[in-house]
Amino acid sequence: MKRNHNRMSEINASGETGETHVCEDPAHPVAVVVVVLVVIKSEGVNGRPDANLKLLYGDNMCVGPLKKLCHWGPLSSLAMIKFITLMTIHCSRQWWPPQDSILAAASFLLFFILSGLTLFHFISAIVEGPGYLTLKWMPEKATDIQYLQYCIVCQGYKAPRSHHCRKCNRCVMKMDHHCPWINTCVGHYNHGHFTAFLASAIGGCSVSFIILTSWITTVLSLKPLPFPPPEFYTIILVVFSIGASVGVVLAVGMLLSVQILAILRNRTEIEDWILQKSQCWRNDTDAKYIHPYSKGWLFNISQVLTWDCTPVGDGITWPVIDGCDQYTLTREQLAQKLDKRKKARIYRIVKAASGSKFPIGHGFGVFFHPLCTDESRIKLDVNDIVIVTRWKKYWLFGRKEQKEEEDGKSKCIRGWFPRPCAVEVIEKSVRLG
């Protein structure tokens, strides 16, 4: 039986159904086809919608699997896709009408297919989701918890290759990074769709660039036009589309190269960082950390890039190389965490921090040296205690100490704050628990 496609944790075994309504957009027929395909793809056996989605979202698709579209990132991406597509179709029908020749029809069809694939894989990456660990997740063997990190927010242990995303507020299976353009993480279940989306976007924009530049060259030439002279605003829109196409090819091309390299190595962005830290902190020791998941580039590719972009495995248990086991990575993480805690220092807040990325009340040094990171800035009050693990000239990174709430849960508050806000507490020692 085909697996469920939204890997949220609270799975409803009853599998109740709910209607799905798709709004048609006459200005972009590709969008209608793609959304219908994605909705069909997310249904279970015998046309019954995924019970997981039913439990989480009910019958209203506006807050269902497409909820994450309601964000500046996906909306900007959709607007760009639609704009380039419409301008390219308009110019193609004037410059090289598909009914004129087989080559013209093939060119038009190629762009139409690439545009459809871009939209399909984009929406699929959002609807699929990266895959989230069950809340309060535990390994099958209770003795294995000694090799795993505990997530305070999710109240459970982190499976191998899983990491907690502060934006999604969940532990993500094989988390690579949180992508604002799809408003979700790139992880185990949507890595294939995300990579296919990037490749399709580059292919589509490359074809678009050829068509648009050919159209603008024809318009600006001194020869008689084979189509009615365009309005001035149309020329401006085409020039903007050419710039957008070039920008997509360059920017997305760099991101695609990073993703292809990650797939070939079977190593996520976070695991790259873990490997770099292991080489640094183990530099003076004989012990060496070996990344356990890379079993050759052909095998690595087959784990992610399948015909339907369905990944291999359940996102918890992974094939490993000889000499390693399921917890080789997690043991290295625990060792690095312990080393970081040993080097941590306790600071007391002497001036309130607003949590702003550009604070103006802590001196020119802080204001004119903003952090180039999407990590959070935390709000702190006077006399708050923070365990600091990273230091910069004008900023500190740490975790705020706070009491456990009555229900046993406690929100982990950590991030950057201005260095002038705090002073180090010498007489205390950092808790390692």
CATH at 355: 2.30.30.40
The residues carrying an active-site annotation are 179
- Evaluate whether residue 102 is within a structural domain: yes
- Evaluate whether residue 252 is within a structural domain: yes
387 forms beta bridges with 346, 399
Higher pLDDT, 261 or 39: 261
Q: Which of 295, 320, 343 is the last residue of a domain?
A: 343
- Evaluate whether residue 15 is within a structural domain: no
Q: Which of 326, 343, 360 is the last residue of a domain?
A: 343
Q: Are residues 211 and 294 in the same domain?
A: yes
- What's the DSSP call for residue 419? G
Q: pLDDT class for 258, splitting at 50, 70, 90?
A: very high
- Evaluate whether residue 27 is within a structural domain: no
Beta strand 150-151 with 414-418: parallel, antiparallel or unpaired?
unpaired
Beta strand 150-151 with 156-157: parallel, antiparallel or unpaired?
antiparallel
Q: Are residues 92 and 217 in the same domain?
A: yes
Domain count of the fold of the chain:
2
Q: Are residues 86 and 235 in the same domain?
A: yes
pLDDT per residue as tens digits for the range 357-383: 888 888 899 988 888 887 889 999 999
Instruction: State the average pLDDT for the chain.
Output: 84
What is the biggest distance separating any 2 CA atoms in the chain, rounded to whole angstroms?
85
Q: Are residues 368 and 244 in the same domain?
A: no
Q: Are residues 334 and 397 in the same domain?
A: no
Residue ranges making up the domain that contains 403: 344-424
User: Which of 9-23, 24-38, 220-234 has the least mean pLDDT?
Assistant: 9-23
Q: Which of 297, 313, 343 is the last residue of a domain?
A: 343
What integer is the mean pLDDT of 270-287? 81
pLDDT per residue as tens digits for the range 43-63: 443 333 343 443 344 333 345
Q: Are residues 249 and 280 in the same domain?
A: yes
Angle, vertex CA 409, rays to CA 404 and CA 410, nearest 5: 55
Separation of alpha carbons 159 and 315, rounded Å: 9
pLDDT beyond 70 at 122: yes
- Evaluate whether residue 329 is within a structural domain: yes
CB atoms within 10 A of CB 167: 14
pTM of the model: 0.78
Q: Are residues 337 and 222 in the same domain?
A: yes
- Evaluate whether residue 78 is within a structural domain: yes
Q: Are residues 107 and 160 in the same domain?
A: yes
Separation of alpha carbons 194 and 190, rounded Å: 6
- Evaluate whether residue 18 is within a structural domain: no
Residues 174, 268 contacting (CB under 8 angstroms): yes
87 residue type, one letter: M
Which of 58-62, 114-118, 287-291 is modeled with the greatest confidence? 114-118
pLDDT per residue as tens digits for the range 148-197: 999 989 999 999 999 999 899 999 999 999 999 999 999 999 999 999 99
- Evaluate whether residue 5 is within a structural domain: no
Q: Are residues 402 and 291 in the same domain?
A: no
Query: What element of type H or E holds 281?
Result: helix 269-281
Joined together, the tokens standing for residue 247 give: 């920008």
